[in-house]
């Protein structure tokens, strides 16, 4: 697949890079500076590695949606990586915005995938004791984490398994 350039874009008259296609820095920064960007969802970065073998070190969603589907608005997604040999930029396809966390959550640090990056809303548990029991059952380290507007603002270690 060839690198998608501003020349390619001009010739087509619309942005039409293929998901997983490498793009030039000029295209990447043109999209980044179009509108205030949104955060690239972690799931989209994982998908880029899985589907296109592209490790993503940084990225963004366009600040304005381009279309929608039954699950909501869709945004153009872009990513980049740098292994000390120069940055590479990619179009990652369309993506939904990641839901911004707000309030208290429990983070189960374990090898077992329990969904949503092992982060569960605190209201899913009766109290800290119930969350600690769940962590013990999973042999997981448990943190209670507070989020404000999608950003982590506090973290407390509640439980750490004892290995013999």
pLDDT in tens, 102-148: 899 999 998 766 765 688 999 999 999 999 999 999 889 999 999 88
In total, how many domains does the chain have? 2
Query: Does the pLDDT at position 164 exceed 70?
Result: no
Segments forming the whole domain that contains residue 149: 103-159
Distance from the Cα of residue 44 to its chain's centroid? 5
Q: Does 108 share its domain with 85? A: no
What is the Cα–Cα distance from 81 to 33, expressed in whole angstroms? 18
Q: Are both 90 and 44 inside the same structural domain?
A: yes
Q: Is the pLDDT of residue 78 over 80?
A: yes
Looking at the structure, tell me whether residues 29 and 90 fall in a common domain. Answer: yes
The edge-to-edge listing of strands for the beta sheet with 119-121 is: 119-121, 103-109, 141-148, 151-159
For residue 1, being part of any structural domain is answered with: no
**Of the residues 46, 75, 95, which one is the last residue of a structural domain?**
95
pTM assigned to the model: 0.66
Locate tokens 């490498």: which residue? 22
5-19, 82-96, 113-127: range with lowest mean pLDDT? 113-127
- The DSSP annotation for 30-75 comes to HHHTTS--EEPPHHHHHHHHHHH----SEEEE-SS--EEETTEEEE
Tell whether 164 is covered by a domain.
Answer: no
In a domain, 47, yes or no: yes
Do residues 15 and 69 share a domain?
yes
54 shares its domain with 81? yes
89 shares a domain with 17: yes
Mean pLDDT of all residues in 36-44: 89
Distance CA 61, CA 163 (A): 42
Length of the chain in terms of residues written: 164
Q: Let me know if residue 80 belongs to a domain.
A: yes
Give the end of a domain, one of 95, 112, 142.
95
Burial of 71 (0-12, 13-18, 19+ CB in 10 A): exposed
70 and 88 assigned to the same domain = yes
For residues 88 and 148, membership in a common domain is answered with no
Residue 122 sits in the same domain as residue 82? no
């Amino acid at each position: 697949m060839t690198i998608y350039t501003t020349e390619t874009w001009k010739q087509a008259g619309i942005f039409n890079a293929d998901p997983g296609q490498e793009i030039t820095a000029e295209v990447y920064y043109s999209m980044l500076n179009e509108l205030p960007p949104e955060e690239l969802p972690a799931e989209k970065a994982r998908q880029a590695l899985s589907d296109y073998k592209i490790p993503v070190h940084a990225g963004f969603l366009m600040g304005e949606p381009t279309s929608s589907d039954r699950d909501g608005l869709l945004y153009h997604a872009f990513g980049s990586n740098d292994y000390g040999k120069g940055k590479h930029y990619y179009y990652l396809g369309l993506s939904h915005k990641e839901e911004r966390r707000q309030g208290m959550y429990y983070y189960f640090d374990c090898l077992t995938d329990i969904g949503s990056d092992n982060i569960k809303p605190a209201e899913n548990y009766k109290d800290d004791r119930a969350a600690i029991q769940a962590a013990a059952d999973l042999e997981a380290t448990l943190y209670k984490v507070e989020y404000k507007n999608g950003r982590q603002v506090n973290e407390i270690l509640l439980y750490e398994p004892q290995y013999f």
